[in-house]
Amino acid sequence: MKSEKIILGIDPGTTIMGFGLIKVVNKKMEFIQMNELLLKKYSDPYVKLKLIFERTIELIDTYHPDEMALEAPFFGKNVQSMLKLGRAQGVAMAAGLSRQIPVTEYLPKKIKMAITGNGNASKEQVAKMLQSLLGLKTLPKNLDSTDGLAAAVCHHFNAGRIETGKSYTGWDAFVKQNEKRINPPNPRRGNKTSKQ
């Protein structure tokens, strides 16, 4: 029996959102497409988030992916950058969840490790390995789209493994796994804090 699935990979960003799609037929990968959504020209951060959501929905409605893989924001020193990346990721995630698509996040190091065998590989090394794995003729100028494609390939390589990262099958699963974020403990109940 032939098994077939489509995986959408997204590298969320507020300047460029990279994305790539692969089809897996009997465990063999086939390249569908990769591209990027350019957001530099928009100054309003809410317009950027709206465009990320709309483009993700458009990709889902066009290609009907069975699963979605996202590159999780890495922890950096710039809190504002992390917040912006987290919002971009959340909006892409919400688009997938709104269409009942299972979403899995992968840390950048895990994606690099899955593609190249080196968690500290450069974007160029990841792109070259993807070119070899998927038989791509050329690589894009910006490597954000290959980062999105890498998330999809990483997800395929991790298929069937117990621990793949944070995974959500829909809003209910997200809420269950994030109860503390949704209903944070109230300091007035229980732990009393002294006021200064």
- Report all structural domains of the chain as residue ranges with CATH numbers, in order of start: 4-168 (3.30.420.10)
pLDDT at 73: 78
- 44 is known to lie in a ligand binding site: no
Catalytic residue among 36, 71, 105, 147: 71
Catalytic residue among 36, 67, 144, 147: 144
Instruction: Give the span between the Cα atoms of 100 and 95, in whole angstroms.
Output: 9
pLDDT at 163: 43
- 54 is known to lie in a ligand binding site: no
Find the DSSP H helices in the chain. Answer: 45-63, 79-98, 108-116, 123-134, 144-157, 171-177, 179-182
Q: What is the largest CA-CA distance in the chain?
A: 69
Q: Are 106 and 71 in contact (CB under 8 A)?
A: yes
Question: What does the pLDDT look like over 145-189, one tens digit per residue?
Answer: 999 999 999 999 998 654 434 555 555 665 666 665 555 555 454
Question: From edge to edge, which strands make up the β-sheet containing 4-11?
Answer: 28-38, 16-25, 4-11, 67-71, 103-106, 166-168
**pTM metric for this prediction:** 0.80
Q: Both ends of the chain: CA-CA distance in Å?
A: 69
Catalytic residue among 11, 67, 105, 147: 11
- 144 is known to lie in a ligand binding site: yes
| Tens place of pLDDT per residue across the chain (196 aa) | 668 999 999 999 999 999 999 999 988 999 999 999 999 999 999 999 999 999 999 999 999 999 999 998 776 677 888 888 889 999 999 999 999 999 999 999 999 999 999 999 999 999 999 999 999 999 988 899 999 999 999 999 998 654 434 555 555 665 666 665 555 555 454 444 433 3
Count Cβ atoms within 10 A of the Cβ of residue 139 and give its class: 0-12 exposed, 13-18 middle, 19 or more buried.
middle
Among this protein's residues, is 61 annotated catalytic?
A: no
